[in-house]
Amino acid sequence: MSSEYDIVPRSGGLKLKKIDHTIKKKKKKKTEDLTDIAGGSKSKTSGCDGGGGASSQNDIDAAIEAKIRERNPLMHKTKAELRFLQMQEKIKDKKIIEKASKTHKMRVEEFNKHLDNLTEHFDIPKVSWTK
């Protein structure tokens, strides 16, 4: 039982035009750890005399802080954005304190008062018409 497709020549895989078959894999970039930065700075300053120990430590700290600032997205915000975030934090803290100060009983009473103040439009209608 021959099929209609038996007459089609099968020459292997699909051949695409204009593609370079020598694909090079991209190498991953190596990230420097803060310990590597501090270690590299120490190795550079270790050749100095013992008198400059405090300044070399300050240089190491400055290098670490600079690296942290580069990685930290909050350092790239403007003064207005920082003030906005501070106000958001204050408002959030205020709301948390307000919620934490009320007991469950107080919250239930407040909710019941709110329901009492609503108009009859929101009341559940009676289902039975006999009473």
pLDDT tens readout for residues 60-114: 888 877 776 666 655 677 889 989 999 999 999 999 998 888 888 998 898 888 8
pTM of the model: 0.30
Pair (113, 82) in one structural domain: yes
Residue for token digits 């929101």?
122
Pair (81, 70) in one structural domain: no
Q: 44 falls in which pLDDT band (50, 70, 90)? A: very low
**Which residues neighbour 64 within 8 Å (Cβ) at sequence distance 6 or greater?**
34, 37, 38
For residue 114, give its domain range.
77-118
**Which residues neighbour 85 within 8 Å (Cβ) at sequence distance 6 or greater?**
77
Alpha-helix runs per DSSP H in 72-102 = 79-101
- Domain tally for the chain? 2
